[in-house]
């Protein structure tokens, strides 16, 4: 799924040592450019190596290339060309090389440009660069669908926006783009309802059409889908069952769609773990999408509600997320009843957390069970578009401003989502009389 390309044999040795130390279970192939010199020769050699079945991270030293951007811009979107801080790759210490590799592969999911033809963002190397946009592993970028544009416009003073690009950085800092320039910032806290923001400049494009975003990124979507599908195809003969834990969120929905494209429908088992404190919108979404995809959903019950109401367990917190164990156990009990080779297809992506950033795309859990994350190197924005590209809509909670899909008593809900829970009628009106919701809101707004 991921290959690293360097100029020569000694560079390859340094990269292999780094991978063995920091990424021992990743199965990353290291290729060389046969020691060629000069931008034209590097481009020619790269063009002969690249296929639409893998992502490629090209690491070059400062002395080895003049215009890395021009080389990258002439190659397909599955190639990232990164210049390390040393004259040659082999000169970097192993920890420095790991950091350079992390930044380079982050570009696979974060790379964003402005396309004048469609007046929309394109998630590849083609188009105009965004000022101040950085490929930092802690960052994420997504499209402000639905109410996101309105809410982001309110907290920044920008006025109503439709489909802006929002970049989330460290410490809850968010930057709003409406073209090539950052036009606003806001900060989301872990507690309370406060969200502070400010305007940086007048938005160049208040409206960015979803149709144009899809047109601008059709080639990228096809290519990323092919690479991810290729990973799944390698298990087509091996797998007796393909289990997709499906939460109703964008990532697991995209993973389910992809699995259904690769494997016979009778092999695919979508498992929905109901905690008892699920949003009604998610319950409805599972029903609607399963009908559209013509699949039966296996529902398992995690009993988080019973744990609190009947067993006397406390509300889950950041330090005591016992709810997650119940949810995972419910899926595990379902899977353990299957006999044969089981491929578990998850929607995990690098952008979600540090632990997922470090986890390999393929994990062998036992001799008869393998877990694969085919969307690992996808960006959030591209995952959002993939749902629409497959004639589906995202979970309506996203369109109401939520970051992620989980329970309505989830300790990971932050100030942004707490404001939505408290003030958006489509959410608050259907939850306000539920005992656990009242307890949760009371505990979080003390």
- Comparing 167 with 403, the larger pLDDT belongs to 167
Q: Assess whether pLDDT exceeds 70 at residue 250.
A: yes
Q: What is the band of 380 on the pLDDT scale with cuts at 50, 70, 90?
A: very high
pTM: 0.95
pLDDT (0 to 100) of residue 132 = 95
The CA-atom distances, in angstroms, between 90 and each of 3, 10, 71, 103, 300 are 17, 6, 21, 17, 51
231 and 254 together in one domain: yes
- Residue 409 to residue 396: CA distance in whole angstroms: 18
Please enumerate in sequence order all residues whose Cβ is within 8 A of that of 115, keeping only pairs 6 or more positions apart, or say none: 121, 122, 126, 127, 128, 216
Task: Indicate which CATH number applies to the domain containing 95.
Answer: 3.40.1360.10
Report yes or no on 43 lying in a domain: yes
pLDDT for res 226: 98
Residue 234 covered by a domain: yes
Listed residue (131, 338, 174, 348) closest to 254, CA to CA? 348
Q: CA distances (Å), 325 to each of 273, 316, 322, 330, 332, in order?
A: 12, 11, 5, 9, 10
Q: Identify the band that residue 446 occupies on the pLDDT scale cut at 50, 70 and 90.
A: low
**The dihedral sign for the CA sequence 81, 85, 89, 95:** negative
**Domain match, 384 and 235 both:** yes
Q: Which residues contact 229 (CB under 8 A, 6 or more apart)?
A: 258, 261, 262, 374
**Residue 420 included in any domain:** no
d(CA 368, CA 238) in angstroms, rounded, equals 9
Residue-number span of the structural domain to which 362 is assigned: 226-402
Nearest CA to 108 out of 82, 146, 84 is that of: 82
Residue 403 has pLDDT above 90, yes or no: no
Beta strand 369-372 pairing with 362-366: antiparallel
Is residue 218 in some structural domain? no
pLDDT digits (tens, 9 = 90+) for 355-372: 888 999 999 999 999 999
238 and 203 housed in the same domain: no
| Predicted confidence (pLDDT) per residue in 4-45, tens digit | 999 999 999 999 999 999 999 999 999 999 999 999 999 999
- What is the per-residue pLDDT across 85-124, written as a single tens digit (0 to 9) for each? 999 999 999 999 999 999 999 999 999 999 999 999 999 9
Residues 304 and 328 in one domain: yes
Residue 190, pLDDT score: 83
Q: Is residue 423 part of a domain?
A: no
Residues 369 and 268 in one domain: yes
As a whole number of angstroms, the distance between CA 392 and CA 370 comes to 28
Percent of the chain with pLDDT over 90: 88
Q: Which of 169, 184, 212 is the last residue of a domain?
A: 212
Residues 230 and 91 in one domain: no
Q: What is residue 199's predicted lDDT score, i.e. its pLDDT?
A: 97
Taking the C-alpha atoms of residue 376 and residue 26, their distance in angstroms, rounded to an integer, is 12
Distance CA 65, CA 83 (A): 8
Question: Do 239 and 388 lie in a common domain?
Answer: yes
Q: Does residue 171 form part of some domain?
A: yes
Q: Tell me, yes or no, whether 146 and 59 share the same domain.
A: no
Contact 204, 180 (CB under 8 A): yes
Co-location of 90 and 177 in the same domain: no
Q: Is residue 427 part of a domain?
A: no
241-245 β-sheet, strand order: 297-301, 268-274, 241-245, 342-345, 369-372, 362-366
In a domain, 442, yes or no: no
Say if CB 263 and CB 236 are below 8 A apart.
yes
Same domain? 231 vs 365: yes
pLDDT at 435 over 90: yes
Residues 153 and 195 in one domain: yes
The 10s digit of each residue's pLDDT in 152-185 is 999 999 999 999 999 999 999 999 999 999 999 9
Residue 25: phi, psi to the nearest 5? -105, 15
Same domain, 174 and 248: no
């Amino acid at each position: 799924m991921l290959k690293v390309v360097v100029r020569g044999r000694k560079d390859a040795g340094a990269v292999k040592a780094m991978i063995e130390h920091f990424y021992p279970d990743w199965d990353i192939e290291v290729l060389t450019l046969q020691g060629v010199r000069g931008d034209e020769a590097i481009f020619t050699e790269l063009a002969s190596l690249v296929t639409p079945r893998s992502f490629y991270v090209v690491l070059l030293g400062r002395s080895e290339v003049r215009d890395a951007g021009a080389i990258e811009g002439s190659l397909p979107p599955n190639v990232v060309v990164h210049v390390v801080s040393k004259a040659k790759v082999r000169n970097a210490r192993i920890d420095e090389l790991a950091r350079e590799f992390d930044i380079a592969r982050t570009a696979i999911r974060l790379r964003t440009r402005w396309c004048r033809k469609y007046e929309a963002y394109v998630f590849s190397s083609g188009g105009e660069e965004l000022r101040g946009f950085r490929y930092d592993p802690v960052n994420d970028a997504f499209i402000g669908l639905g109410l996101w544009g309105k809410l982001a416009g309110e907290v920044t003073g920008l006025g109503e926006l439709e489909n802006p690009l929002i970049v989330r950085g460290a410490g809850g800092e968010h930057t709003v783009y409406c073209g090539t320039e950052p036009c606003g910032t806001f900060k989301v806290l872990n507690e309370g309802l406060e969200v502070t923001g400010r305007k940086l400049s007048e938005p160049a494009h208040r409206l960015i059409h979803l149709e144009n975003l899809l047109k601008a990124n059709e080639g990228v979507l096809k290519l990323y889908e092919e690479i991810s599908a290729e990973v799944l195809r390698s298990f087509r003969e091996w797998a007796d069952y393909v289990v997709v834990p499906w939460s109703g969120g964008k990532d697991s929905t995209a993973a389910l769609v992809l699995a259904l494209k690769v494997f016979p429908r009778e092999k695919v088992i979508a498992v929905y773990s109901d905690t008892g404190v699920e949003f009604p919108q998610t319950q409805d979404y599972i029903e609607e999408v399963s009908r559209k995809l013509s699949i039966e959903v296996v529902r398992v019950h995690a009993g988080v509600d019973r744990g609190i109401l009947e067993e006397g367990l406390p509300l889950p917190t950041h330090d005591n997320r016992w709810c997650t164990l119940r949810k995972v156990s419910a899926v595990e009990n379902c899977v353990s009843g299957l006999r044969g080779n089981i491929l578990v297809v998850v929607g995990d992506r690098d952008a979600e957390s540090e632990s997922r950033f470090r986890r390999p795309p393929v994990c062998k859990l036992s001799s008869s069970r393998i877990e694969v994350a085919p969307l690992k190197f996808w960006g959030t924005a591209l995952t959002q578009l993939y749902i629409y590209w497959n004639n589906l809509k995202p979970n309506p909670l996203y369109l109401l401003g939520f970051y992620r899909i989980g329970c309505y008593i989830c300790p990971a809900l932050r100030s942004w989502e707490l404001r939505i829970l408290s003030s958006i009628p489509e959410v608050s009106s259907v939850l306000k009389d539920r005992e656990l919701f009242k307890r949760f809101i009371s505990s979080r707004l003390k």
